[in-house]
Amino acid sequence: MQASRLEVRIPEALWARRTKWRGRVVAVHVAPGVRVSEGDPLVEVEVEKAVIVIESPYAGLVVEVPVSVGDEVGPGDVVAVVEVA
């Protein structure tokens, strides 16, 4: 069976009706080649009231992490690509 590559995005749903917010990446917990389980922290993004820890919705192999600490990100942005068997 072929593995599929799934993008993990910052949910569009977060506070979407109120604001087009942007946040700053303050931590990156994974790198390409790292195996993750469902619920593992991928990146942390600082917003006005909190630091949101984006968890992996999938178990698999991280193949891409397109963000770095200090990057500005917002809803819909890809923070990791996970290869799921």
Partner 1 sequence: MPSTSGPQSWKPRVRVRPGGTLERVSRVLRKYRLATVCESSLCPNIGECWGSGTVTFMILGDTCTRACRFCYVKRGKPAPPEPDEPLRVALAARELGLRYVVVTSVSRDDLPDAGASHFASTIRELRKTLPQARIEVLTPDFWGREDLVAMVAREGPDVFAHNIETVRRLTPRVRDPRAGYERSLEVLRLAKKHGPPGMLTKSSILLGLGEEWGEILEAMRDLREAGVDILVLSQYLRPSPAQLPVARVYTLGEFKRLEEEAYKMGFKAVVAHPLARTSYRAEWAYLKAVGANAPNNRRAP
* Contact residues for partner 1, defined by CB under 8 A: 8-19, 21, 39, 41, 44, 46-55, 57
Closer residue to partner 1 (CB): 54 or 67: 54
Closer residue to partner 1 (CB): 17 or 70: 17
Query: CA 1, CA 52: separation in Å to the nearest integer?
Result: 34
Closer residue to partner 1 (CB): 17 or 68: 17
Minimum Å gap between C-beta 72 and partner 1 is 16
Query: CA 31, CA 24: separation in Å to the nearest integer?
Result: 18
Minimum Å gap between C-beta 2 and partner 1 is 21
Query: CA 85, CA 14: separation in Å to the nearest integer?
Result: 29
Minimum Å gap between C-beta 53 and partner 1 is 5
Query: Looking at residue 11, what DSSP letter applies?
Result: -
* Backbone φ, ψ for residue 78 (5° rounding): -80, 130
